[in-house]
Amino acid sequence: MFKSLEQISALMTDLPAPDQKAAEQARMRQSQLVKPDGSLGRLEEIAIHLATWQGREKPALDKTRIIVFAGAHGVTKHGVSAYPAEVNAQMLAGFHAGFAAICQLAKAFDADLSAVDCGIEQPTSDFSEQPAMAEAEFLTAFQTGFDAVRGDEDLLIFGEMGIGNTTSAAALYAAMTNSTGDIWVGRGTGVNEDGLKRKADLIDKAIALHGTASLSPLEILRHLGGREIAALTGGLLAARRNGVPVLLDGYIVTAAAMVLHRAGGQTMLENTIAAHCSDEQAHFEALNEIGLHPLLFLDMRLGEASGAAAALGLVKAAVACHNGMATFAEAAVSGPSDPA
């Protein structure tokens, strides 16, 4: 059980390294398949990435899990969302009932789906007035995410749901980059221009109130984040410590990834692939900040892990080609020759 932020920070060291032998075996296989080397583009990169972190030449997707964390935000009292807070409980019930978008995507791509309540009946405090979470609350939420990871998954996808969490994510980005709210706020669930201004003003107020420039990334998360974002961060850390590859979802999940990136460095995210760039303003810039390039640009902004789940089709295609194609020798096809 986590007792302090320092204990979490200690887990960001001595991380498992990527399996370079498996990576080389996968690269060699790609070079021998019946195609010009590199002709499948990022599908080849995906297959090699999975092979590297699964520690085998031919990666598998038998144990693919999607975990969606749900939370509630006190800052919503300021009208930062187009939807009321009661949608949190209604959508969480929808995940369990199977009618949400992520349920259909998980079914389409044969992924196990779990929805975790991180306290939708207990909104965080309004971060424009006080820290969003006391340390004990933060540690509990972080532990929830950390414990949700089994460690034997072939691939993990994390998602979130929480009215107001795009405001919280934008606040995290602004604080971690020492910038202002207007750079990072977007329309989220569909707020108008007045809503955008309210979001930006609240973020600037909170940054000044908490003096975030002097806070560690984990403290910034405690002051400005939500329970579901803390759980996401815990889940991402658990995946990294277990060497499980992660397909990174959208704007809010990327904020959790940036916390780890700022706290532990680039190696914290070595096991991740950015699935998509959402339609949320500044998500592409956030991905640039942590050195990731997305697979898809589909103008999505739903959350729920829906963008990453959509990209799961690409991942399955990459694995199918990598594992199922014949080599030049197996197919008795002439391979490439050196130019004269």
pLDDT in tens, 146-158: 999 999 999 999 9
Q: Residue 337 above 80 pLDDT?
A: no
What is the percentage of the chain residues whose pLDDT exceeds 70?
Answer: 99
Q: pLDDT tens digit string along 187-212? A: 776 778 887 888 999 999 999 999 99
Q: pLDDT tens digit string along 122-133? A: 999 999 999 999
Q: What is the pLDDT of residue 315?
A: 98
Q: What is the pLDDT of residue 57?
A: 98
Q: Return mean pLDDT, the chain.
A: 96
Catalytic residues: 304
Q: Which of 80-89, 247-256, 287-296 has the lowest average pLDDT?
A: 80-89
Q: Residue 120 above 50 pLDDT?
A: yes
Average pLDDT over residues 168-196: 89
- State pTM to two decimals: 0.96
pLDDT band at 227 (very low <50, low <70, confident <90, very high): very high
Average pLDDT over residues 100-117: 98
Q: Which of 77-91, 147-161, 224-238, 326-340 has the lowest average pLDDT?
A: 326-340
Q: What is the pLDDT of residue 338?
A: 53
Q: Which two tokens stand for residue 93?
A: 């019930």
